[in-house]
Chains A and B, each alone.
Chain A
Amino acid sequence: MTVKQEWAMTPPTVTAIIDGIRVTVPPGTLIIRAAESIGIEIPRFCDHPLLEPAGACRQCLVEIAEPGPDGKLRPYLKPQTSCSMVLTEGMVVRTQVTSKVAERAQRGIMELLLINHPLDCPVCDKGGECPLQNQAMTTGQADSRFTEAKRTFEKPLTLSTEILLDRERCILCQRCTRFSDQISGDPFIELQERGARSQVGAFDPEVLDFDGYAPTGLAAEDESGRPFSSYFSGNTIQICPVGALTSAGYRFRARPFDLVASPSIAGHDSSGSAIAIEHRRGKVLRVLAGNDPEVNEEWITDKDRFAFPWSSLDDRITRPLVRGEDGELREATWPEALARAADGLREAVSGARSKGVGVLPGGRVTLEDAYAYQKFARVVLGTNDVDARSRIAGDEEEAFLGSRVAGSGLGVTFADLEAAPVVALIGFEPEDEGGVVFLRLRKARGRQKVFTFAPFVSRGNAKLDATLVPTVPGLEGAALDSIRRGSGTVGDVFDGLSQEGAVLVVGERLAGVPGGFTAAVALADRTGARLAWIPRRAGERGAVEAGALPGLLPGGSSAQSAEAREGVARVWGVSGLPLAPGRAAYDILGLASSGGLSGLVVGGLTLSDLPKTLANGIAKAPFLVSLEVRLSDVTAHADVVFPVAPSSEKAGTFVNWEGRLRPFTAALQTSALSDHRVLDMLAREMGVTLGTPTVEAVTAELARIPIDDSLRPPPPSASGPSAAEAARRAKATTLATWHALIDQGSLQDGEPFLAGTARVPVARMSPATVAALGIEGRVLKVSGPGRGTISLPLAVTPGMVDGVVWLPMNSPGSTVARTLGVAHGDTVSVKGSES
């Protein structure tokens, strides 16, 4: 009995012989992987562990014998591709190591692969890291017997502004087309022609000898004018086993063997994707995806890959700046700048007419930086007015973060998302706002049901086969409540979320929806679904953990709890923490713009994301200290500017949305300092020991912060818009908006090739709304309460919720916050125009 049970507990395995070595693997393991597990490398090109087998290149041929029903070994008549065959019990495999047939087969394939390959390794970007080059050196012949003319193509083919294709180098392994089809869902490149004229291409009328219509519908309207516009297209370059695919930014710039690769963590979203920053003589040349099966697998977004030039543009700050008597910024020494900043802040905090100082770290800080900012605010400046959420953020969200997120450790993971039978998305667009989160969800396509609470099914969500729960922006809470009460139009959402493992994903936009988080928590509690908060910026989760929020102390306890304050004060060795409730970022800026603050300490804040009225707060602050990488519209108003390091030049930790710590070290060794180090120096100048000079010091201190669930803030409890308000909105035109992944964000500056792959900004409305409002013309003019107007091509979107207009939040021609001064869920007015 016990023996039987033990047997049942052991996972099933398959045992076979490869090159005379006994190997035991889980059932379903491909021969090529089983061989890898015992150190036998079978050469391959089309095989990729994250793509379905193709068996196209035939490089991995091996000899196989399998036991028949009588137990006798039966050899296969022909060598088989080890990338497509599963190892079975009792199989005997002979690779090139022990089989002459396999060795001859592989040598033959290699020769055939090379006859039409240009062998231009000395001038090819892939030379030095090229699977074809490497395997030709190990399995190929030294001399070519091919004396005929090689196949040539015009080079390069511009697949997008970023991706170029040299077809003569291509060995047609189809990794790129399979990636585009199976992983990203953007099959804009495909094999064309046949036989020896086979080639990969985008929709190119010349290649296809096509003279007819152009792409229509979404493809025509949404792309950059080139069909291969994908947020993930750069991955095809990395998995290309030859140098056929290159990026416009890296092409001809470097040789791989001259580069130093430093592992790091991507800072463009909250996923914490593993990357390798590759640099030469102090300059970053390219970024590659790292291989982290638990997080980003082997994929990253094009933003993570290509958006790195921003930190080395001409406007990079290398020395401190102080504002002189003439009102102009001039370079200063560190001691001078520190003294000026200390004097100014001291005056602002304790001067006769002090109204206090607010701290805005920005959403892209590391855990250590966020910790230093909040400690600086609470210990040096004596205020709880610190908030890393440089976006719409309120008490309700803070209550949610404090009660459900902070200090909760690893919660829902990428693997949980992939395994979830049902995922509901609220205020979250995976492809635009989640990066590789989208790829994980897409990986589960077919076994997972996705619901999106949104006004329409975006292209990304369409690729997830998502079902729309039609939701008016701003009324997400009501939509969630109606599902909870069972009165929703999509009845299976409730049942779906009640399934074991179901996940409710909430995004940052829900913070602008009164009652949103309250309703999300209530629905999750009612159905048993797990909640995942996926913010957009890389530093947001770390800021929550570090307590860089007005009402949260490090570790997630409430700043309103005397016991919590005492606990933290004890660790910090101070007599007490400030009592007065802190204000959220928008309130701090609002207060500053009305003259209600004496000073501001600002980190990485981008004013273009803020309504003008709030951005004015920066200009109005009597004393402004800015910690920035580049000159910006914040440094333009600053009294003292300290240069700080971009994440490629410092060590630190991002905490990704899962709650996973993603530590990284400096890829480039420069003299640039981290924010926490600058704040530590500034505090010392003001006579306070902040204790944040190094990452290690912060880490050690964070470990000593007590975590006590009983001291957390209470869960969110806010009511949504009243019935009267909801009725008013039903008659008005409501704005829906979010950031496109590739837009005008300042971290994408200096990369025009990437910008060219952005989707064309359009304004979306349902056909019925267009008709009801009598909109005529191809362009929609959208205006808010202020003076500004956004004019974008009108994309009439069938199936969209009526009475809603959608705009990209910060794309060329569409800076919603700055131009209109409105946000997601606000009322706007629209009219049509011909131009």
Chain B
Amino acid sequence: MTALTPVLSSRWAEPRSWTLETYESGGGYVALAKALKSAPADVIRVVKDSGLRGRGGAGFATAAKWGYLPPDDGGPRYLVVNADESEPGTCKDVPLLMASPHLLLEGLVIAAYATGVRQAFIYLRGEVVHVHRRLLQALDEARAKGYLGRNILGSGLDLEVTLHAGAGAYICGEETALLSSLEGYRGQPRLRPPYPAVSGLYSRPTIINNVETIASLPGILGRGAAWFASMGTRDAKGHAFFSLSGHVNRPGQYEAPFGITLRELIQAAGGMRPGRRLKFWTPGGSSSELLTVKHLDVPLDHESVGAVGSQLGTRGIQVFDDTACVVRAVARWTDFYRHESCGKCTPCREGTFWLTQVLDRIEKGKGTRADLDRLLETCTSIRGRSLCALGDGATMTIVSSLEHFKAEYAAHIDGHGCPFDPRQTALFSSPGAKEADA
């Protein structure tokens, strides 16, 4: 049994956990003071030794990403925190920022110090106004205490942080689209190369890191690389949020070392709904291939999940029990991608438009067997052909669900309708509601 390792979430239960006072009382900003006493190169070495990988989905080694910055030419370079969390099933950054905004700010100053950045940006998903207010408050507190601004803690480091609220576009979580949006243009991905590390925000070297990645830095600098690396697997070290949602008894954020299994996580979350069995789940949000009950014991790290044909992604684990209709779930996800496609490239713009209509038809019992081939062929036309990964993401649940649950699709077609009762699936349904419905 793998034990949970609450690190970032360890103080969420404390009263007024988000204030600077609470944060400092638990040892906040001590790691920053420690980091500022060592050379930037040493900070980077600690991050490298810890094995920290990006928590935004791709899992790229953080220190290596920083290493792509060109040598300082005297001009500005930027650090941008990607807080545009919008992936269906992914819900870790928002609670983290609500409960512990100073973790991000402390990590931000450490990262800026290590990489020679004097101006940082937090690109926050626009809908979460409550988080925006909380971050503004935290920024004010940090500035007043000298953790931000000029000559931070007497170290000579200057850092300004600008908080920017997006306008509610999933695509702006894609790093180059995020930069375009931050510059005031349409949020659409850019061609790479040039890569942001070389020519990013305002054509200057730019690092883009996920909230959780940055928030992990105070712990690593405070307790050391060895402590961090002691958690997790050989290639995926440390603690990470596993966001459980769906048909478990206690959905929520479970902070655990990489390598924990879904079976263990479901157990931690109080098990499945009474009398129900696991049917399918997403390991990494809606942009990862569906897994099934066969994969309950797959260690949740990048490599192991990759080996069974899916992706660890953002660890947005959506759990569906045997009441759920996979066609319905896939149709909803696909509709999300259609709605969020930025429209720049053909496969994603037109492909999601088409997929939605075909899936809708199948779900309503009006599909044909040829539609199933059409779905797969259209996915082939999109996957690996689109400008950014959003197009790929749209195809993941479709292709994998057809692989695992083709019979269920066939049942919709042959039975001219959905064999499931959606009211059984809905978590908010109650006997009273059922009666009212009838």
- Report the nearest B residue to A145, measured CB to CB: B374
B343 touches A55 (CB 8 A): no
Q: A112-B346, A113-B346, A194-B341 are in contact. Are A105 and B385 (CB under 8 A)?
A: yes
Q: Is the CB of A196 within 8 A of B350?
A: yes
Contact B357 A195 (CB under 8 A): no
Q: List the A residue with the shortest CB-CB distance to B360.
A: A148
Contacts between the two chains (Cβ within 8 Å), count: 99
Residues in A with CB closer than 8 Å to B1 are none
Q: Per a CB cutoff under 8 Å, which of B339, B347, B387 touches A195?
A: B339
Query: Contacts A58-B385, A193-B343: A84 and B191 contacting too (C-beta < 8 A)?
Result: yes
A217 CB to closest chain B CB (Å) equals 18
Whether B345 sits at the interface, judged by CB under 8 Å, is: yes
Chain A residues near B344 (CB, 8 Å)?
56, 172, 198
**Is B338's CB within 8 Å of the partner chain A?**
yes
Q: Does A104 contact B (CB under 8 A)?
A: yes
Contact across chains for B385 and A79 when beta carbons are under 8 A apart: yes
User: Residue on B with the closest CB to A195?
Assistant: B341
Cβ of A78 < 8 Å from any Cβ of B?
A: yes
Asked if A252 CB lies within 8 Å of chain B CBs, one says no
Is A257 in the interface zone, CB < 8 Å from B? no
Partner of A197, one of B343, B374, B384, B387: B343
* Other-chain contact of B354, A59, A79, A148, A172 (Cβ < 8 Å): A148
Does B380 have its Cβ within 8 Å of any Cβ on chain A?
yes
Taking a contact as CB atoms under 8 Å apart, the answer to whether A195 and B346 are in contact is: no
What is the chain A residue whose CB lies nearest that of B171? A194
| Shortest distance from the beta carbon of A392 to any chain B beta carbon, whole Å | 46
Q: Which of B362-393 contact A (CB under 8 A)?
A: 374, 377-378, 380-382, 384-387
In the bound assembly, the distance between CA atoms of A107 and B354 in angstroms comes to: 16
Quick check: A54 and B353 within 8 Å, CB to CB? Answer: no
Q: Find out whether the CB atom of A171 lies under 8 angstroms from the CB atom of B342.
A: no
B363 → chain A, closest Cβ, in Å?
14
Contact of A198 among B191, B338, B349, B377 (CB under 8 A): B349
Query: Whole-angstrom distance from the CB of A118 to the nearest CB of chain B?
Result: 14
A77 interface contact, C-beta 8 A: yes
Given A111-B381, A112-B351, A148-B357; A55-B191 close (CB under 8 Å): yes
Which chain B residues numbered 119 to 175 have a C-beta less than 8 Å away from chain A? 169, 171
The B-contacting residues of A in range 191-213, CB under 8 angstroms, are: 191, 193-198
Query: When the two chains form their complex, are residues B343 and A61 in contact, meaning their CB atoms are under 8 A apart?
Result: no
Give the distance to chain B from A102, nearest Cβ to Cβ, in Å: 10
B264 located at the interface, meaning its Cβ lies under 8 Å from any Cβ of chain A in the complex: no
Check if B186 is an interface residue, CB within 8 A of chain A. yes
* B384 in complex: contacting residue of A56, A78, A84, A111, CB < 8 Å: A78
A113 to B346, CA, bound (A): 6
Give chain A nearest CB distance to B331 CB in angstroms. 14
Residues of B within 8 A of A111 (CB): 381
Does B342 contact A115, Cβ atoms closer than 8 Å?
Answer: no
Given A195-B340, A196-B338, also A112-B381 (CB < 8 A): yes
A196 lies within 8 A of B352 (CB): yes
Within 8 A of B (CB), among A119-157: 145-146, 148, 151
Contact of B343 among A77, A84, A104, A191 (CB under 8 A): A191
The reply on A830 being an interface residue by CB < 8 A is: no
Contact A58 B342 (CB under 8 A): no
The residue in chain B whose Cβ has the minimal distance to the Cβ of A112 is B350
User: CB-CB < 8 A to A329: which residues of B?
Assistant: none
**In the docked arrangement, what's the CA distance between A346 and B381, Å?**
81
- Could you tell me the distance in whole angstroms from the C-beta of B146 to the nearest C-beta in chain A? 41
- With a CB–CB cut-off of 8 A, which chain A residues contact B374? 145
Tell me the bound Cα distance from A61 to B343 in angstroms: 18
Task: A79 to B349: give the CA distance in the assembly, Å.
Answer: 18
Contact A109 B354 (CB under 8 A): no
Q: Is A673 an interface residue (CB 8 A)?
A: no
Is the C-beta of A75 less than 8 angstroms from some C-beta in chain B? no
B186: A residues at CB distance < 8 A: 190-191
CA distance in complex: A171, B378 (Å): 18
The interface residues of chain B lying within 8 Å CB-to-CB of A104 are: 380
In Å, the complex CA distance between A57 and B384 comes to 14
Contact with B along A40-60 (1 / 0, CB 8 A): 000000000000011111110
CB distance from A197 to the nearest CB of B (A): 7
**How distant is the Cα of A456 from the Cα of B386 in the complex, in angstroms?**
47
Bound together, the chains give a CA A196 to CA B350 distance in angstroms of: 6
B338 touches A195 (CB 8 A): yes
Q: Whole-angstrom distance between the alpha carbons of A735 and B156 in the complex?
A: 58
* B385: min CB distance to chain A, Å: 5
Q: Are A109 and B352 in contact (CB under 8 A)?
A: no
Nearest CB of chain B from residue A332's CB, rounded to whole Å: 64
A196 x B381 contact (CB < 8 A): no
With A78-B385, A111-B381 given, is the CB distance from A116 to B350 under 8 Å? yes
Least CB distance, A689 to chain B, in whole angstroms: 66
Cα–Cα, bound, A61→B387 (Å): 11
- Cβ of B342 and Cβ of A194 under 8 Å apart? yes
Tell me, in angstroms, the Cα distance from A507 to B378 when the chains sit together. Answer: 59
Residue of B nearest to A151 (CB): B353
Contact B343 A198 (CB under 8 A): yes
- B377 (CB) vs chain A CBs: closest residue: A108
Flag if A58 contacts B386 (CB, 8 Å). Answer: yes
Smallest distance from the beta carbon of A46 to chain B beta carbons, Å?
A: 9
Docked complex: A486-540 residues within 8 A CB-CB of B: none
> In the complex where A78-B385, A145-B374, A191-B186 touch, is A108 in contact with B347 (Cβ < 8 A)?
yes
* A53 contact set on B, CB distance < 8 A: 191
Given known A-B contacts A172-B343, A196-B338, A108 and B380 have beta carbons under 8 A apart: yes
CA distance A193 to B357 in the complex (A): 20
Tell me how far the C-beta of B393 lies from the nearest C-beta in chain A, rounded to whole angstroms.
14
Q: B195 to chain A: closest CB distance in Å?
A: 14
CA distance in complex: A54, B358 (Å): 30
The smallest beta-carbon distance between A830 and chain B, in angstroms, is 40
Neighbouring A residues of B341 by C-beta, 8 Å: 194-196
Closest residue on chain B to residue A106 by CB atoms: B385
Query: Please, which residues of chain B bring their CB within 8 A of the CB of A84?
Result: 191
Q: Which residues of A sit under 8 angstroms from B358, Cβ to Cβ? A: 148
Nearest Cβ on chain B to A510's Cβ, whole angstroms = 39
Give the distance in Å from the alpha carbon of A775 to the alpha carbon of B195 in the complex.
55
Across the interface, which residues of B come within 8 angstroms of A115, CB to CB? 350, 353-354
> How far in angstroms is the closest Cβ of chain A from B338?
6
- Name the one of A55, A151, A191 contacting B387, with C-beta atoms under 8 angstroms: A55
- Smallest beta-carbon distance A80→chain B, Å: 10
User: Chain B nearest CB: distance from A687 CB in Å?
Assistant: 72
Residues in chain A near residue B354, CB distance under 8 A: 112, 115, 146, 148
CB neighbours of A145 from chain B (8 A): 374
With known contacts A195-B339, A195-B341, A197-B343, A77–B384 Cβ distance under 8 A: yes
- For the complex, what is the distance from the CA of A77 to the CA of B339, rounded to whole Å? 28
Name the residue among A78, A113, A194 with the largest chain B CB count within 10 angstroms. Answer: A194
Q: Residue on B with the closest CB to A108?
A: B381
Q: Name the A residues within 8 Å of B345 (CB-CB).
A: 55-58
Docked pose: A115 CA to B346 CA in angstroms: 11
Contacts of B350 in A (CB 8 A): 112-113, 115-116, 196
A-B contact pairs, 24 of them (CB 8 A): A55-B345, A58-B386, A58-B387, A59-B346, A61-B385, A77-B384, A105-B381, A105-B385, A108-B377, A109-B346, A109-B347, A109-B385, A115-B353, A116-B353, A148-B357, A191-B186, A194-B169, A194-B342, A195-B349, A196-B341, A196-B350, A197-B343, A198-B342, A198-B344
Nearest 4 pairs between A and B by C-beta?
A108-B381, A198-B343, A195-B341, A78-B384
8 new A-B contacts at CB < 8 Å, known A57-B345, A108-B380, A172-B343: A58-B346, A58-B347, A77-B384, A78-B385, A105-B381, A108-B377, A195-B341, A196-B353
Binding site for B on A (CB under 8 A): 53-59, 61, 77-79, 84, 104-105, 107-109, 111-113, 115-116, 145-146, 148, 151, 171-172, 190-191, 193-198
